[in-house]
Amino acid sequence: MHITFVFLILSILYFPLYGQQPANIGVTVFGKQETNITLEQIRQLPTHSLDSVRIYNHTGAYRSTLKNIEGGLLKDLLKNITFPAESPKALSEYYVVCEATDGYSVVFSWNELFNTNVGDHALLVTNIERASLGKEKGPYVLLSTADVATGRRYVKGLHYIHIKRIEK
């Protein structure tokens, strides 16, 4: 009876936590739901690997180290999303908001992702549990390894990618 009670309590606690984990990443274009991206789709992107990345907060203080990181580039994922652009010049007005399940959001400009070195280092990590030695859970993490303060655009629990345009 005691074991059944413990199992029941653990089950009640586990399922709400499990339910918080997103099944996929939603992508919106100008506020309209465009598509949902699965972990399997991210794993089909060209794979990029890093031996380790040190995570620093906004003051430059060391927080942790991720090891043996694997994933796909955010820009490679975005290449598969269709959206209206009347000219290539208009892309300079676009930006990407990456939002976590807890509401934490970071921003990349379109030019930053596709026209600078940052785009080659904005990584959708597909093995975060192994890379963090079990400290981080869940399939979706975004990390910008070109940043000095790597923790500022370290999005745990990535849930949405919003493509937006500057309002005039």
Domain map (residue ranges) of the chain: 23-165
The per-residue pLDDT for range 70-125, each reduced to its tens digit, is: 999 999 999 988 878 888 899 999 999 999 999 999 999 999 999 999 999 999 99
pLDDT of residue 16: 42
Q: Which residues contact 37 (CB under 8 A, 6 or more apart)?
A: 24, 25, 26, 27, 77, 161
The pTM score is: 0.82
Calpha distance 102→20 (Å, rounded)? 10
Q: Which residues contact 116 (CB under 8 A, 6 or more apart)?
A: none
Backbone angles phi, psi at 14, to 5 degrees: -70, -45
pLDDT of residue 3: 47
- Identify the residue with better confidence: 12 or 86: 86
Lowest mean pLDDT among 9-13, 104-108, 125-129, 158-162: 9-13
pLDDT band at 15 (very low <50, low <70, confident <90, very high): very low
The per-residue pLDDT for range 27-80, each reduced to its tens digit, is: 999 989 888 999 888 889 999 999 999 999 999 999 999 999 999 999 999 998
CA angle 95, 92, 81 (to 5 degrees): 55
In angstroms, the Cα distances linking 127 to 72, 78, 136, 141, 158 are: 11, 20, 10, 9, 13
pLDDT of residue 136: 83
Q: Does domain 23-165 have CATH number 3.90.420.10?
A: yes
Q: What is the mean pLDDT of residues 8-16?
A: 39
